[in-house]
């Protein structure tokens, strides 16, 4: 068995000479080349459908979401994503939202419930017009 074959079969034995069937003692090991392979695994991101959730009492263009509505949307997102919050845009795992505090930098990875069609452009506060994004994604999205 050659040293490379032994290394594949039992790396510790090949390097130290301890154990393994060949009992080869290695005084030095020099790696002359390393192959670098990158494998990109892409997963289709499927936004959660929030339209079947209980709507707030007042639904219409330009209206804010309610605290209870945001809580229902975040809970539905977790339920649909194996008990973790995920962005409906990128699929990235998000942190639970927290109350912002003066002097403390905002967590750019926290989940935010956002209008798909911007409220400023007449977008409704209906659950069908809601998505979960990271704070960073929401800032980059803007209202354009």
Convert the pLDDT of each residue in 15-73 to its tens digit. Answer: 566 554 444 455 555 666 667 767 666 667 789 999 999 999 999 999 999 999 999 99
pLDDT-based confidence at residue 139 (cuts at 50, 70, 90): very high
pLDDT digits (tens, 9 = 90+) for 75-131: 999 999 999 999 999 999 999 999 989 999 999 999 999 999 999 999 999 999 999
Three-state secondary-structure class, residue 15: helix
CA–CA dist 17, 69 (Å, integer): 64
pTM above 0.75, yes or no: no
Helix (H) or strand (E) holding 93: strand 93-94
């Amino acid at each position: 068995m050659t040293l490379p074959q032994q290394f594949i079969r039992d790396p510790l034995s090949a390097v130290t000479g301890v154990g393994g069937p060949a009992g080869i003692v290695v005084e030095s090991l020099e790696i002359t080349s390393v192959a670098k392979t990158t494998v990109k695994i892409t997963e289709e991101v499927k936004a959660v459908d929030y339209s079947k959730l209980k709507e707030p009492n007042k639904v219409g263009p330009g209206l804010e979401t309610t605290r209870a509505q945001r809580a229902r949307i975040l809970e539905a997102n977790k339920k649909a994503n194996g008990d973790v919050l995920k962005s409906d845009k990128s699929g990235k795992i998000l942190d639970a939202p927290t109350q912002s505090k003066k002097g403390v930098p905002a967590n750019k990875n926290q989940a935010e419930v956002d209008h798909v069609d911007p409220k400023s452009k007449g977008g409704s506060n209906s659950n069908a017009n809601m998505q979960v994004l990271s704070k960073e994604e929401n800032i980059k999205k803007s209202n354009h």
